[in-house]
Amino acid sequence: MEIIGFEKVFNDNIHGHIILHPLCVAIIDTPEFQRLRNIKQLGTTYLVYPCASINRFEHSLGVCHLAGEMLNALCKNCNNEIFVTEEEILCVKLAGLCHDIGHGPFSHTWERFLTTAGINWKHEECSIQMLKYIIQKYDLMKEFKRYGLDESYHIELICEFIRGYGKILPSEKYFLYQIISNKDNGIDVDKWDYFLRDGKSLNLSISFDYKRLIQFSMVVVDPNSNPSKKVIAFRNKEARNIYDMYRVRSDLHLRAYQHRAVQNTEIMLIDILLKAEKCCTVQTPCGTKYSLTEAHTNIDAMSRLTDHILYDIQYSVDPNLEEARSLLNRLLTRHLYKFVGSYNLNFVNPSICDNVIDVEKLKINLKEQLEKAFEVQFGIAATWLNCGAPVTDPLRNVIFFKKPTCGSKIIHLDNTPYYSLYPLQKLEFFKREITVFCKMLKVNNENLEKFDAFSKRYLENFKP
């Protein structure tokens, strides 16, 4: 595939100088992609860690770069014996670039805001809608076609790569679905980039080495399924490195993403958005106005939403936004909700951890019982850690291979049960904790103790 336009060099503080394809540059240079510069990657974490103000923009560029690096290594390590077209490689890069363009203000906080409002919405599907919207709005399909990308086949393939699953590719190319969003074991370039990027902004050490994982990766036939299904495998000596990757994820969640103060500020921000929901609107060029809980239903409205809505509330003189402004001022002046208590369910009620339960329902029920008993408003947060994979022991789903013998092209898989050699500690990797906050501005210690005792008793007696 001949590169017709101009590649662009970006100086990234994580990966150094990275070169992106002209088609990627065409998407980057749209206002809809540029809006990612104004969407904080870590939500309200910057209110606790002052330097955690990185945005989705630079993360998206990093994932695009790593996707290309991963594919280059896989082709090289397999002696170019895996057949991947240049068009498919470009599709993977585009998926890495666009996997987060559907995020709302303050990233995952926006999803939690909509969940609190009773709306089931996922940013991945919005990213797919936003990509199609950009292509249509700026007539980019002709640019896609210049590089051999078909309007129906390849656009849908990019969407499948964003989701991390699909039916377009045959099982021999299943490994391409594992690069951006790996649903099998959570090892993907999206996590590698945000671990490094977030760790640097949070000033937290990142111990695992993603460059080694890339260099010691190969495509092999999956021994656990269809004989023709090919997946990404890693050298057996990288088992400890992968274990460290899962540990880093857990550490970032415990020390930053789900830090008690971060949970507190996020609950306050969600309350601010709920109070401003009807009066703080988004208007499209055709004149239609959407409330904050309606904007996701129109991709044009969604493309106009960034973190700026907080400033719209803060500097508004609309009397209908007075309650939201007052709470926002309380957040910015650090008059946070009062901490009541944190309850590690591994100790308080292990039966909750051993069952599949609706965590949101548990939070709602506890909140309702507390408010009914004390006639005071409460905020409930849940720390529900996993390893970014759908199983409780993702190492079991990682395929390892042995070092090839000199001159041999035959790859032997390693069946050593590394999940037993490097067991993921339940309390560290799968923490189950409920944290309660009281929303009163002033509350005495005696009442806090009553709230604490009630919460603990409720969780002790909760029946999954």
List active site positions. 123
Structure tokens at 30: 């749209």
Of 355, 341, 358, 370, the C-alpha closest to 445 is: 341
Kindly report the number of other CB atoms within 10 A of residue 313's CB atom.
20
| CA atoms of 339 and 435, how far apart (whole Å) | 8
Residue by residue, what is the 3-state secondary structure of the chain? CCCCCCCEEEEECCCEEEEECHHHHHHHCCHHHHHHHHCECCHHHHHCCCCCCCEHHHHHHHHHHHHHHHHHHHHHHCCCCCCCCHHHHHHHHHHHHHCCCCCCCCCHHHHHHHHHCCCCCCHHHHHHHHHHHHHHHCCCHHHHHHCCCCCCHHHHHHHHHHHCCCCCCCHHHHHHHHCCCCCCCCCCHHHHHHHHHHHHHHCCCCCCCHHHHHHCEEEEECCCCCCCCEEEEEEHHHHHHHHHHHHHHHHHHHHHHCCHHHHHHHHHHHHHHHHHCCCCCEECCCCCEECCCCHHHCHHHHCCCCCCHHHHHHCCCCHHHHHHHHHHHHHHCCCCCEEEEEEEHHHHCHHHHCCCCCHHHHHHHHHHHHHHHHCCCEEEEEEECCCCCCCCCHHHHCCEECCCCCCCCCCCEECCCHHHHCCCCHHHHCCEEEEEEECCCCCCHHHHHHHHHHHHHHHHCCCC
Kindly report the number of other CB atoms within 10 A of residue 3's CB atom.
12
296's CB contacts (< 8 A; 6+ apart) are 104, 114, 119, 121, 126, 302
